[in-house]
């Protein structure tokens, strides 16, 4: 089952990044607009799709 990309809005990672919304999704990953608490600015985070994480390269 695939998690909707929009459900990540508001999630914080590593106590530094807070995802604000999805910018786009392609065949290999999802791009999020996020807030960087350390730099106090907007940043872009790209995450690979789950199927690529499970390949065990």
40: domain CATH number is 3.30.200.20
Residue 54 lies in a domain: no
Residue 56 lies in a domain: no
Residue 12 lies in a domain: yes
At residue 7, the pLDDT reads 73
- 31/20 Cα distance (integer angstroms): 11
Structural domain containing residue 18: 5-49
pTM above the 0.85 mark? Answer: no
Residue 38 lies in a domain: yes
At residue 1, the pLDDT reads 35
Structural domain count, the chain: 1
Cα 20 from chain centroid? 9
Residue 57 lies in a domain: no
pLDDT digits over 1-57, tens only?
344 666 788 899 889 999 999 999 999 999 999 999 999 999 999 988 888 887 665
How many other C-beta atoms are found inside a 10 Å radius of the C-beta of residue 35?
15
């Amino acid at each position: 089952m695939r998690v909707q990309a929009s459900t990540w809005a508001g999630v914080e990672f590593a106590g530094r990044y807070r995802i604000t919304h999805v910018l786009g999704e392609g065949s290999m990953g999802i791009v999020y607009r996020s807030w960087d608490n350390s730099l106090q600015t907007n940043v872009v985070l790209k995450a690979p799709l789950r199927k690529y994480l499970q390949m065990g390269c």
